[in-house]
Amino acid sequence: MVKPAHEAAGSPESTPPGGARGANRPAPRATEAGPPVALATELRGARAAFRAFIGALDPVTPVTILCHSDADGLASGAILLRAFERLGFAHVTSLVTGRGENAWGASVRERLATTAPGALVVADLGSRAEPLLPGIPTLLIDHHHPDGTPPGGTLISGYGWEPIPNASLLAFWLAADLVPADDLLWIAAVGTVSDLGERAPFAIVEVAKRSYTAKWLKEATALVNAARRAPAMDTATALAALLGSDSPRALADPATSPYAPTLQDYRAEVNAAMAEARRRAPLFSGPVALIRIDTPCQIHPLIAQRWRGRLPKFIAICANEGYLPGRVAFSARTSSDRNLLDFLAAARPEGDTGAEYGHGHDQASGGALPDETWNRFLLGLGFPEQALLRRG
C-alpha cells in the first residue's frame, strides 16, 4: 500500500540549473494555484478517488502513464510521472499517443501491452466503456465529454465542473495533495495556457506569470506544442524538455536550453504551414464553413479555431488532406450555441468513421475519415460535387 508522501518523499528530484524566474521573483507555491472555492466539493471527491486508486497499489507495481500529445496532455504526463516517482513507485513508464492515434486504437494497445503494466493511468485522452487492457487497474484523468468508464476503472473528470479545468491542471491539483509539487506548477501552467489561453479562469496562470514572466510561459507553451504539430511529431523531445527543465525559460531559452533549438526548428515548419493555410478561403453550406488545407503539419485545429472567431455564427471545419495517408483529418469549432458532439452524431456518414469521430468538447471536436467516407460526409452536409476530395 502506498501512503501520501508530503513528508516521506523528501526533497523533489534535482533539476538542471538555468531556470531563472526573473530578478527577485519568489518561487511559486502549489497552494497559490489551488482550485477556486466553487470547485471545492468536486475536487474533494476527485482527490479521494485518486488516493483510493493509489492506495490499492503496491510500490513495486509497474505503472504506465499514457498521455495525449498536445501540451496539456504532455504536461499531464510529466506531472503524473513525477507524482508516482515521489510516491515511491520504482517502475513508472510514460507513453504518448502518436499521429492519428487514440488511446483505444490497436497500435496504442499493443504498445501499452509491451510495457507489462500492473496499473494504467490515462491522461487527457477521453474515457470510454471499453477497457484498454482488460484486467489492469485503470485510472482516467480527463476533461472531455465522457463516453463511459472501463469496467473496474476509475474516472476523474472535470467535465461538467464550472469552470472546467484542463487535464494537466487537474493532475497538478491531485498530485499536490499527496507529494511536494511546487516545482510542477509551471508545467501545469504550460498545459493550462495551451488549452484555455492566457485568460484561463484559474489562478495558476497569473501565479506562473508573476514568477516566470508571461514571455517565457508563452514561449515554452508554443515550443512544446510545435513538436506535436510539426511533421516529425517529436513528442519525445517535448516531454523530455518538460521533465528536464525547471522553468519555462530553462525550456525555451536557446542560450541555455538543449531542447530549444530543435523545438524552434519545429515551430518554423509550423509557422510556414500556417502562413499558407491562412490564405485559404472557406466554402459554405448551411451552418458549416469548410476550410481545406493540405499539409503534414497538425494545424487543422488552429485554423478551425481561427475561423471560429471570424465566423461566430458558423461551425468552422478545417479539413487537412495531407496529415494522414488516405484519410482526411478534420477539426470542428464553433462560437455558436450549437453542440458539436450532437451535430456530428447527426451528420455521421455511412462507412468507417474511426474511433476519433465526434468526441471531445461541446464546441471543439473532429475526427479522421477515409477519403470515400469524407466525401459522403460532405455530401450529407449539402456541399456540391465540386467540394469533394479527388486525389491524384
Residue 315 zone, left/alpha/beta (φ > 0; ψ -120 to 50; rest): beta
List, for residues 224-274, the tens digit of each pLDDT value: 999 999 999 999 999 999 999 999 999 999 999 999 999 999 999 999 999
pLDDT in tens, the chain (392 residues): 555 554 333 333 434 434 445 444 677 999 999 999 999 999 999 999 999 999 999 999 999 999 999 999 999 999 999 999 999 999 999 999 999 899 999 999 999 999 999 999 999 999 999 999 999 999 999 999 999 999 999 999 999 999 999 999 999 999 999 999 999 999 999 999 999 999 999 999 999 999 999 999 999 999 999 999 999 999 999 999 999 999 999 999 999 999 999 999 999 999 999 999 999 999 999 999 999 999 999 999 999 999 999 999 999 999 999 999 999 999 999 999 999 999 999 999 998 888 789 998 899 999 999 999 999 999 999 999 999 999 87
Domain locations along the chain = 30-261, 278-387
C-alpha–C-alpha distance, residues 202 and 208, integer Å: 11
CATH number of 278-387: 3.10.310.30
Q: How many CA atoms lie within 13 A of 391 on its CB side?
A: 13
Among candidate residues 219, 316, 311, 214, the one with its CA nearest the CA of residue 260: 219
Domain 30-261 has CATH 3.30.70.360: no
